[in-house]
């Protein structure tokens, strides 16, 4: 049998067709044990290596059941393999997260069709390797393999994730060339891609040209407008829809919330709850809790919390983080702490952690915040900075500096807010030489262009007694001068006049500046 021969099922009366039908039943019933029993019967009947069709169905069964070893063993034992055999094993590894094995199979394939290339694109997308997905698509086109509808929906997702508008437009031209512009799933993917890339105008052109629109088409267009802050247009489209699903409501509610129109978000939520068939999901609740947090509406937030408990929705993940943020920002930090203790703190995200930290900062109690910080599974620069700033604002300078050194040791590069906070501590050291060295490093790394860092450096110069250096730096800020820049110059001049200087231990001064200089050199 030629390797590229299409899969042709045997006559319905054949034993192979009967066994293949049983395997499909096992898949639908999610019963791998029964499938293995059918495999044994196939072997006993002597059909395993006689019918490529039946062996392919067995491979497909094992692949979809997650039994990769059994599937590969069958594949290796096949005396003849057709395109379906290769694609089944390739798709198994690609969609199963084993992209390395999928690449090995892909390279060994004697022939590749659109299914082969698309499986690789899907696999790369699932692993977040969107650049590789795009590269695979370009290679696919270069060898003359025509993309399918499924190829386009997946590669457009890659472009959306990368916000690669230029590549997305080229893909769009392929869609038009192959006459797939009227295909609703492809058109919806185009809407999503243009929306994520910030080109709502082209998205609207695609939307207007669609002869048939699904609810997803409207939702994608609403999300596109919301992402660009054009809530008037998003609202108009929402009102124009004849049918709303939960995604439609989520898109408009999240849009208002993300564009700081939280009262409107609450208003739409109340309308949604009047719809008998609409039940809020995790996305709805996360958005509405965020709106409550921004508005400081603790009473409304408590009602949402009561609904979550009443409906037995899980309080970890997205909803748990939203609850923690809401209570922390609305004066209920103790309740937020209890939620943290009831759920897994390792799943606490940066936004909710920062909100909780700010709640503790207002109370002047940073010890529990530090415990939560230490328990976080992943800490990005925002989390580190929030903890450091919390220490600085409450006068715990030693703790702030120690945490900064730990941040450097962990390989996290601070942002302007981190540096400004640490420089505010360093300004009390009164070390002009270290200040000058730090200034040079900041300029070379372009951090000195930040007004917040410049303000902190002005303070370092001034408190070191070098008002001339502080004034030069002040003048270099040009039109970006803030009130704080002027205040720094005025206050530090007064401080110099009154000769108010601090003089911490030399070893502490040295360690701080070594840490900061390491950052600028990295």
Q: Which two tokens stand for residue 53?
A: 């069709």
Q: Which two tokens stand for residue 263?
A: 């009262």
Dihedral over alpha carbons 186, 192, 193, 197 (to 10 degrees): 160
Nearest Cα to Cα of residue 17 among 53, 50, 43: 53
What is the C-alpha to C-alpha distance for residues 413 and 19, in angstroms, rounded to an integer? 60
Count other Cβ atoms within 10 Å, centred on residue 199: 18
| Mean predicted confidence (pLDDT) in 463-492 | 55
Taking the domains of the chain in order of start, what are their residue ranges?
1-111, 280-374, 416-521
pLDDT given at position 445:
55
| Mean predicted confidence (pLDDT) in 491-508 | 44
| Distances in whole angstroms, Cα of residue 161 to Cα of each of 129, 149, 155, 218 | 10, 19, 10, 20
The DSSP code for 500 is -
Q: Which two tokens stand for residue 434?
A: 């270290």
User: 246-265: per-residue pLDDT in tens?
Assistant: 999 999 999 999 999 999 99
Residue 280: pLDDT above 60? yes
Q: Is 463 helix (H, G, I), strand (E, B) or coil?
A: helix
CA distance between the termini of the chain = 60
| Mean predicted confidence (pLDDT) in 233-248 | 95
Q: Is 230 helix (H, G, I), strand (E, B) or coil?
A: coil
Rg (CA), the chain: 30
The DSSP code for 409 is H
Residue 310: pLDDT above 60? yes
pLDDT band at 485 (very low <50, low <70, confident <90, very high): very low
- pLDDT greater at residue 239 or residue 415: 239
What is the C-alpha to C-alpha distance for residues 257 and 194, in angstroms, rounded to an integer? 22
Nearest Cα to Cα of residue 185 among 154, 209, 221, 163: 154
What is the C-alpha to C-alpha distance for residues 109 and 91, in angstroms, rounded to an integer? 13
pLDDT band at 222 (very low <50, low <70, confident <90, very high): very high
pLDDT given at position 314:
77
pLDDT given at position 497:
46
pLDDT given at position 2:
44
Q: Is 50 helix (H, G, I), strand (E, B) or coil?
A: coil
Q: Is 386 helix (H, G, I), strand (E, B) or coil?
A: helix
What is the C-alpha to C-alpha distance for residues 112 and 3, in angstroms, rounded to an integer? 11
Q: Which two tokens stand for residue 513?
A: 């500046």
- Report CA 489 to chain centroid distance, whole Å: 41
- pLDDT greater at residue 141 or residue 432: 141
Q: Which two tokens stand for residue 338?
A: 């209890």
| Mean predicted confidence (pLDDT) in 493-498 | 46
What is the C-alpha to C-alpha distance for residues 45 and 15, in angstroms, rounded to an integer? 9
Q: Which two tokens stand for residue 257?
A: 């919330």
Q: Which two tokens stand for residue 498?
A: 């009154």
Count other Cβ atoms within 10 Å, centred on residue 46: 9
What is the C-alpha to C-alpha distance for residues 46 and 33, in angstroms, rounded to an integer? 20
Q: Which residue has the tokens 């800020």?
A: 477
Residue 480: pLDDT above 60? no
DSSP code string of 304-367:
HHHHHHHTT---SHHHHHHHHHHHHHTT-HHHHHHHHHHS-GGG--HHHHHHHHHHHHHHT--H
Q: Which residues fall within 8 angstroms of residue 247, CB to CB, at 6 or more apart?
A: 215, 216, 219
Nearest Cα to Cα of residue 222 among 211, 212, 232, 209: 232
Q: Which two tokens stand for residue 256?
A: 């208002």
Nearest Cα to Cα of residue 438 among 513, 501, 522, 507: 513
Q: Which residue has the tokens 């067709």?
A: 17
User: 79-93: per-residue pLDDT in tens?
Assistant: 888 999 999 999 999
| Mean predicted confidence (pLDDT) in 441-448 | 54
pLDDT given at position 245:
95
Nearest Cα to Cα of residue 121 among 107, 139, 104, 105: 139
Q: Which two tokens stand for residue 458?
A: 């002005």
pLDDT given at position 39:
83
Q: For residue 274, with 0-12 CB atoms within 10 Å meaning exposed, 13-18 middle and 19 or more buried, which class applies?
A: exposed
| Mean predicted confidence (pLDDT) in 114-121 | 97
No. of H helices and E strands in the chain? 30, 0
Overall size of the chain counted in residues = 522
Q: Which residues fall within 8 angstroms of residue 74, CB to CB, at 6 or more apart?
A: 55, 58, 59, 62
Q: Which residue has the tokens 């408590």?
A: 302
Q: For residue 38, with 0-12 CB atoms within 10 Å meaning exposed, 13-18 middle and 19 or more buried, which class applies?
A: buried
Say how many CA atoms lie within 13 Å of 15 toward its Cβ: 13
Contact between 27 and 35 (Cβ < 8 Å): yes
């Amino acid at each position: 049998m030629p390797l590229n021969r299409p899969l042709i099922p045997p006559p319905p009366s054949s034993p192979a067709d009967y066994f293949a039908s049983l395997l499909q039943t096992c898949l639908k019933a999610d019963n791998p044990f029964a499938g293995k029993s059918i495999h044994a019967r196939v072997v006993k009947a002597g059909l395993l290596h006689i019918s490529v069709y039946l062996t392919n169905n067995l491979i497909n069964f094992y692949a979809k059941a997650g039994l990769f070893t059994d599937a590969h063993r069958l594949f290796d034992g096949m005396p003849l393999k057709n395109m379906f055999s290769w694609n089944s094993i390739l798709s198994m590894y690609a969609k199963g997260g084993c992209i390395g094995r999928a690449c090995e199979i892909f390279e060994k394939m004697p022939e590749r069709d659109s299914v082969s290339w698309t499986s690789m694109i899907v696999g790369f997308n699932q692993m977040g390797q969107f650049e590789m997905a795009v590269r695979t698509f370009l290679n696919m086109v270069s060898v003359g393999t025509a993309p399918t509808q499924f190829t386009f929906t997946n590669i457009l997702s890659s472009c959306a994730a990368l916000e690669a508008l230029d590549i997305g437009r080229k893909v769009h031209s392929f869609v038009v060339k192959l006459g797939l512009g009227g295909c609703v799933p492809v058109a919806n993917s185009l809407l999503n891609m243009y929306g994520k890339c910030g080109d709502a105008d082209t998205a609207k052109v695609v939307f207007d040209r669609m002869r048939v629109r699904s609810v997803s088409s409207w939702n994608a267009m609403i999300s596109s407008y919301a992402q660009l802050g054009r809530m008037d247009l998003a609202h108009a489209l929402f009102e124009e829809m004849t049918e709303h699903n939960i995604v439609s409501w989520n898109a408009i509610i999240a849009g208002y919330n993300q564009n700081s129109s939280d009262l409107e978000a609450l208003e739409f939520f109340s309308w949604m709850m009047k719809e008998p068939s609409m039940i809020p999901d995790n996305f709805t609740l996360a958005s509405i809790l965020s709106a409550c947090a921004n508005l400081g509406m603790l009473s409304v937030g408590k009602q949402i919390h009561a609904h979550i408990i009443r409906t037995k929705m899980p309080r970890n993940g997205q909803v748990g983080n939203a609850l923690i943020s809401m209570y922390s920002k609305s004066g209920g930090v103790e309740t937020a702490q209890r939620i943290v203790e009831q759920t897994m703190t390792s799943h606490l995200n940066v936004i909710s952690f920062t909100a909780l930290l700010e709640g503790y900062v207002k109370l002047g109690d940073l010890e529990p915040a530090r415990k939560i910080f230490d328990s976080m599974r992943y800490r990005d620069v925002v989390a580190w900075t929030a903890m450091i700033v919390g220490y600085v604002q409450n006068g715990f300078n030693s703790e702030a500096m120690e945490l900064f050194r730990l941040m450097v040791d962990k390989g996290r590069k601070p942002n302007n807010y981190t540096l400004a906070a640490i420089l505010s501590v360093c300004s009390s050291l009164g070390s002009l030489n270290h200040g000058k060295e730090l200034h040079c490093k900041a300029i070379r790394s372009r951090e000195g262009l930040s007004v917040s860092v410049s303000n902190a450096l002005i303070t370092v110069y001034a408190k070191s007694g070098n008002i001339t250096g502080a004034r030069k730096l002040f003048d270099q800020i040009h039109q970006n001068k803030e009130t704080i820049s002027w205040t720094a110059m005025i206050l530090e001049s007064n401080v110099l006049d009154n000769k108010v200087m601090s003089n911490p231990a030399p070893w502490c001064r040295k360690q701080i500046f070594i840490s900061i200089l390491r950052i600028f050199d990295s």
